[in-house]
Amino acid sequence: MYLFVYGTLKRESKNHYLLSSATFVCKTRTGHKYTMVDLGNFPGVLYDRPISLITGEIYNITNELLCKLDDYEGEWYFRSEVEMENGMTAQMYFLKEIPSLMKDKSFVIPSGIWEDKMKENTMGVKEEILYAKDERSQRHKDTVAYEVHNNLYLNITNQCSASCTFCIRNISDGVYGYNLWLSREPSLEDIISHLSKLNLKNYKEVVFTGFGEPTTRFSIVLRITEWLHTQGIRVRLDTNGHAALINPGIKVVDELKKAGMDAVSISLNAQTEELYEKLCRPFYPGSYQAMLTFARECIAAGISTRLTVVKVPEVDIQACEKIAEEMGATFFARTISPHIRS
């Protein structure tokens, strides 16, 4: 697995020792523009504000080390796979938002090179680039929930534990006219506030789905499910089934059942592990078997379970349907959405 670093984890930087077991691959830049922000002793990068290509280094690391780095980076950051200028793809850490205690101290580094921070202290442009809230809200308002097919769909994250070759995120910014890219992840309070304004009885079910893997925010999924369950609202989770890998040490199915989850729709996507690795490109080793185990445990827990595949040429629909049938799950084969938002 490849990791792209751009700050204190780089060679000759103070926290490079954390990568002592990793293998240096190359220096490069991101393939797309982002905004680098200096936060004093370390930098951060904002995902959705295109200023410059970010310069850094790629390392080959183990999944175990990646988990440790997730803990090290902490709650200010999220991780996503990005394309590099040299054609590679790698994991990269992004700021969820500028931490409130750092807003008066942070500034943009227009070059995208952290070492340039002393040359490019542009405190004067931060109001324009980082905090133009009124202008930004006119350009793009985050879609936390959207209505389709008499259901209400919740879009709580853009993080994902796979990079599927057929993912609509590769070709679109949303579905059914909704832009699903988030400028920040909505808080529990944000989501409940939004839901409280709706007549939830109007919907057949409320579904965790959107432009990311909901179980990357597992505690939020549980809290919202509990809140909806107390109101008698049917709740479904659309997932890639990696929850146990994303949330190690947690009995994820037991927690979902306890919270009141009524149904899960799990992306099977391939009849073999080899094809799954090729099509879905999961970040965690053993993701295919973990997904199947998750499905079996959901069935055993009494959660209504459906397996789905996307109709692409390599997938044997009948073989996938047989896997679902033998497991005791329902099955659905879907086309790549004709309702993508371009």
Backbone φ/ψ region at 219: left (φ over 0), alpha (ψ -120 to 50), beta: alpha
The more confident residue out of 152 and 33 is 152
Report the percentage of the chain scoring pLDDT > 70: 90
Domains present along the chain, CATH in parentheses: 2-131 (3.10.490.10), 140-341 (3.20.20.70)
Report pLDDT for 340: 46
What are the angstrom distances between the C-alpha of 31 and each of 53, 127, 169? 7, 26, 16
Tokens read off for 238: 């659309």
For residue 172, CA distances in Å to 154, 168, 339, 342 come to 18, 6, 10, 5
- pLDDT recorded at residue 139: 44
Q: Give the range among 20-24, 93-97, 150-154, 157-161 with minimum mean pLDDT.
A: 157-161
Q: Is 8 helix (H, G, I), strand (E, B) or coil?
A: coil
Q: At what angle do helices 188-196 and 218-229 cross, to 10 degrees?
A: 30
pLDDT at 211: 86
Which residue reads 């920040």 in tokens? 184
**Sign of the CA dihedral 13, 19, 21, 26?**
negative
The answer to whether 217 touches 164, Cβ cutoff 8 Å, is no
C-alpha triplet 217, 219, 222: angle, nearest 5°: 110
- The residue-averaged pLDDT of 179-208 equals 90
Helix residue ranges, H only, 281-340: 287-300, 317-327
User: Measured between alpha carbons, how far is residue 227 from residues 126, 208, 230, 325 in Å?
Assistant: 38, 14, 6, 32
Determine how many CB atoms are found less than 10 A away from the CB of residue 275: 16
For residues 243 and 207, what is the distance between their CA atoms, to the nearest angstrom?
16
Q: What is the tens place of the pLDDT at every residue in 310-322?
A: 999 999 999 999 9
68, 93 Cβ separation under 8 angstroms: no
Q: Which residue has the tokens 């103070």?
A: 14
**Residue 146 confidence (pLDDT):** 93
Q: Return the number of other C-beta atoms located less than 10 Å from residue 192's C-beta.
A: 14
Structure tokens at 211: 């432009």
Positive or negative: CA dihedral 288, 289, 290, 291: positive
d(CA 36, CA 21): 27
Question: Is residue 336 predicted with pLDDT exceeding 90?
Answer: no
The predicted-structure confidence for 142-181, as pLDDT tens digits, reads as follows: 899 999 889 999 999 888 888 888 888 777 778 888 888 8
What is the pTM assigned to this prediction?
A: 0.62
Q: Which tops the pLDDT comparison, 105 or 283?
A: 283
The type of residue at 242 is H
CA angle 308, 81, 164 (to 5 degrees): 25
Tell me the pLDDT of the chain averaged across its residues.
Answer: 86
The residue-averaged pLDDT of 285-291 equals 95
Checking if the pLDDT of 269 tops 60, the result is yes
Q: What are the C-alpha distances in Å from 85 to residues 53, 107, 125, 160, 177?
A: 9, 25, 27, 22, 30
Tell me the pLDDT tens digit for each residue of 109-144: 878 888 876 454 444 444 444 444 434 344 457 899
